[in-house]
Amino acid sequence: MKATRVLVLAALVLAIALPVFAQKGQTLVVYSSVDEVNAKKIFDAFTADTGIHVQFVQLSSGPAYARIKAEAANPQADVWFGAPSENHILAKEEKLTQPYKGPNFDKIGKEFKDPDGYWRSFYMNPMAFAVNTEVLARIKAPRPTSWADLLNPVYKGQIQMPSPQSSGTAYNIVASLVVMMGEEKAFDYMKKLAPNIQTYTSSGTAPSKAVQVGQCAIGIQFTPAFFEAIDKGFPIEVIFPKEGVWFEAPAVSILKGARNLEAAQKLVDWLSTVNGQKVYTEKKTYFYPIIPGVPLGPGMPAFESLKTIDVDPVWAGEQKKRLVDRWVNEVLSAK
């Protein structure tokens, strides 16, 4: 009986305490397509600045979109955080998100936002190669400096890149090659490249893990994990191919029917401030800020110094299913 009374008393205390706790700060529910480690760094800084607690579920772009669509009648999250902007364009077209501009909207370049305020990018990263210098020396292979160089037979079975079936990173590669070369030449190039591909990974960041430990000589993906590997002492060199690269500009959207709308708006606002942007460098995310003047991490060249390919994100979103299907039918079968 005594133990029962103690449990009842504890339950009453907890019931009284919970509303008090809820009044002290807001809670925000997020589906995050940013990797879990870096998402936590950003959300912890946001909570420290605003007092708003973030509960997040890490989902890659495809599963996140599917879940948001399935829950459209009864949204279980307030914000979709991350995934390439073309995914957020599709979400807007499907009426899964809602517009919001707020006080910082005009600080963002037009290439990084929806003009109606449905989504905005909050960081960017260029595509690049990383080479393991020790592996290159062992197989007596030259350092590649271009997309064309990757066709060299010396790299047979030595390159890893993600698959566009599951990775937004890989679709960025496919779409940028199509824009740069024209569709027919791009698919001919990717079919010729296939023998040199060791594996098409399901994850967009898996090639960085393989190249840093010497499982392959070359990895292709966005740069953050490459710069992190260099910072940790791995024998990695980052190469930006001379023909040019596209870049990712992951976006954030407020979901239609968000239950914690005010907190969602505060996150979107904060991500467009200097305080929000400098977290990338201070917490070693190795992301590029989208607001000029925010310091970069060690070894990261200025974004404007890179040769980039201009890809229309609306076009990329519209063409995604068709180009991925063609990649599966023609390139993956060639592999």
Tell me what the mean pLDDT of segment 41-54 comes to: 98
pLDDT, the chain, mean: 90
Of the ranges 62-66, 98-102, 165-169, 183-187, which one carries the lowest mean pLDDT score? 165-169
Based on the fold, state whether residues 44 and 156 are members of the same structural domain: no
Q: For the chain, what's the residue count? A: 335
Output the domain CATH number for residue 321.
3.40.190.10
Confidence of residue 335 (pLDDT cuts 50, 70, 90): low
**pLDDT above 60: residue 9:** no
Amino acid of residue 18: L
Based on the fold, state whether residues 64 and 116 are members of the same structural domain: yes
Based on the fold, state whether residues 143 and 196 are members of the same structural domain: yes
Indicate the DSSP class of residue 83.
S
Alpha-carbon separation of residue 243 from 132, 141, 158, 235, 263 (angstroms): 21, 21, 21, 25, 43
Based on the fold, state whether residues 110 and 9 are members of the same structural domain: yes
- Identify which of 175, 119, 144, 112 has the alpha carbon closest to the alpha carbon of residue 327: 175
Based on the fold, state whether residues 149 and 69 are members of the same structural domain: no
The SS3 of residue 44 is helix
Tell me what the mean pLDDT of segment 180-186 comes to: 97
Based on the fold, state whether residues 152 and 197 are members of the same structural domain: yes
Q: What is the pLDDT of residues 263-282, one digit of tens each?
A: 999 999 999 999 999 999 99
The SS3 of residue 227 is helix
Nearby residues of 284 by Cβ (< 8 Å), 6 or more positions away: 41, 228, 231, 297
> What residues make up the domain containing 233?
125-247+308-334
Confidence of residue 198 (pLDDT cuts 50, 70, 90): very high
Distance CA(200)–CA(207), nearest Å, equals 9
Based on the fold, state whether residues 119 and 255 are members of the same structural domain: yes
Based on the fold, state whether residues 233 and 95 are members of the same structural domain: no
Based on the fold, state whether residues 88 and 108 are members of the same structural domain: yes
**pLDDT above 50: residue 53:** yes
Q: Find out whether 171 and 127 touch, Cβ atoms under 8 Å.
A: no
Structural domains in the chain (count): 2
**pLDDT above 60: residue 107:** yes
Based on the fold, state whether residues 253 and 160 are members of the same structural domain: no
Based on the fold, state whether residues 17 and 107 are members of the same structural domain: yes
- pLDDT (0 to 100) of residue 269: 97
Distance CA(104)–CA(113), nearest Å, equals 12
Based on the fold, state whether residues 81 and 178 are members of the same structural domain: no
- pLDDT (0 to 100) of residue 21: 32
